[in-house]
Amino acid sequence: MKEPQTHTGRIALVTGAARGIGYAVATKLAQRGARVALVDLERPDAQAAGLPAQALAIAADVSSEAGWAHIGERVRAQLGDPDIVVNNAGIYPQIMLEELDYAKWRHTLAVNLDSNYFSAREFVPGMRKKRWGRFVNISSNSIGTNLPGLGHYMAAKMGVLGWVRGLANEVGQDGITVNAIVPALTNTPGTSKVPEELKRSVWQLQAIKRFAEPEDIAGPIVFLTSDDAAFVTGQALVADGGMYKIS
Ligand SMILES: NC(=O)c1ccc[n+]([C@@H]2O[C@H](COP(=O)([O-])OP(=O)(O)OC[C@H]3O[C@@H](n4cnc5c(N)ncnc54)[C@H](O)[C@@H]3O)[C@@H](O)[C@H]2O)c1
């Protein structure tokens, strides 16, 4: 069945798009009619070639300002200024305090959070000119868990929520929305080594008792990047199979 063409004419940029959630998002946006720039540390040529709409593969490190200057240059030259930016690239190594030196702390913050700031500096001006734009940044429901060794990651993903709210306040009058997605533990290459027992203990806390698939996270992102979500901004949409309880 052909997907509804909700994103025809849009230019979307997805980071960490070579695999996992990022690839699912890039695929879904392309199926909905967007032209997509896929960014990853190594150029995701094969992934871009397999998409059903025009796509561009870019190699860049999203943790640096220079990386974003390169992304901006490439995407403008090949596709144009992005209407949609999905800040998905992330790392989540488990590192206990004793091993967490400053370089490791900074790196986690840089990939998961600094990237969100750099992307806004690079692409808000173009969105303002068009008076239309969408940012979706990926947080994590691990921010509410008792898992050890993830303090650096939780700090970054909490930071994503604060940044989303703050940026939304500055660009709301320009037709630009900024939101976060808060996924559950999801079946991606990044979580392939998580022990089965731990995965199961997580599902037991969800209303929907199965492992989240990347497409489960991509769906809400498609909504937030559509015209339908024009009045939704500064929000964190929890996509965790019903683990989070409103109370
Ligand atoms: N998988 C989960 O359980 C889960 C849960 C909650 C949130 N998240 C978040 O979702 C996002 C995607 O997670 P995933 O599980 O699909 O990850 P993954 O490890 O499977 O894939 C991440 C991709 O990002 C790329 N990447 C890493 N650092 C980069 C950098 N500096 N510059 C450019 N690209 C870089 C990697 O090369 C990889 O292709 C991350 O932000 C993660 O924190 C994941």
| Per-residue model confidence as pLDDT tens digits over 72-114 | 999 999 999 999 999 999 999 999 999 999 999 999 999 999 9
Domain ranges of the chain: 11-239
Q: Give 20 Cα–ligand 1 centroid separation in angstroms.
A: 7
What residues are labeled active site? 153
For the beta carbon of residue 169, count every other beta carbon within 10 angstroms: 11
pLDDT in tens, 148-206: 999 999 999 999 999 999 999 999 999 999 999 999 999 999 999 999 999 999 999 99
* CB distance 63 to ligand 1 below 6 Å: yes
Residue pair 84/34 in contact by the 8 Å Cβ criterion: yes
Average pLDDT over residues 63-79: 98
Q: Is residue 80 within 8 Å of residue 91, measured between CB atoms?
A: no
Query: How far apart, in whole angstroms, are the C-alpha atoms of residue 96 and residue 76?
Result: 41
Q: What is the pLDDT, as a whole number, of residue 247?
A: 75
Percentage, residues of the chain above pLDDT 70: 100
Q: Is 48 in the pocket of ligand 1 (CB under 6 A)?
A: no
Looking at residue 2, its pLDDT comes to 84
Average pLDDT over residues 222-239: 98
**In angstroms, what is the span from residue 107 Cα to ligand 1's centroid?**
14
Q: Which atom of ligand 1 is nearest to the CA of 44?
A: 39
In the block, tokens 């976060």 appear at 180
Could you count the other beta carbons within 10 Å of the beta carbon of residue 134?
A: 26
pLDDT tens for each residue of 10-55: 999 999 999 999 999 999 999 999 999 999 999 999 999 999 999 9
Q: Which residue has the tokens 């992934």?
A: 47
40 lines ligand 1 (CB under 6 A): yes
Map residue 199 onto helix, strand or coil.
helix
Of ligand 1's listed atoms, the one at least distance from the Cα of 63 is 31
For ligand 1, the distance from its centroid to the CA atom of residue 91, given in whole angstroms, is 5
**Which structure tokens are listed for 228?**
């339908």
What 8-state DSSP symbol labels residue 32?
T
Q: Is the pLDDT of residue 245 over 90?
A: no
Cα–Cα distance measured from residue 50 to residue 37, given in angstroms and rounded to the nearest whole number: 13
Which ligand 1 atom minimizes the distance to the CA of 92?
43
Q: Is 26 in the pocket of ligand 1 (CB under 6 A)?
A: no
Residue 71 Cβ < 6 Å to ligand 1: no
DSSP-assigned beta bridge partners for residue 12? 36, 84
Q: Ligand 1: which atom is nearest the Cα of residue 21?
A: 16
Predicted model pTM:
0.98
In Å, what is the CA distance from 206 to each residue of 20, 113, 185?
Answer: 21, 27, 11
- 108 Cβ below 6 A of ligand 1: no
The verdict on the CB of residue 16 being under 6 Å from ligand 1 is: yes
228 pLDDT exceeds 80?
Answer: yes
Residues 11-239: name the CATH superfamily.
NAD(P)-binding Rossmann-like Domain (3.40.50.720)
CA of 131 to the centre of ligand 1 (A): 30
Ligand 1 centroid to residue 50 C-alpha, Å = 20
Alpha helices in 1-80 (DSSP H): 20-31, 45-49, 65-78
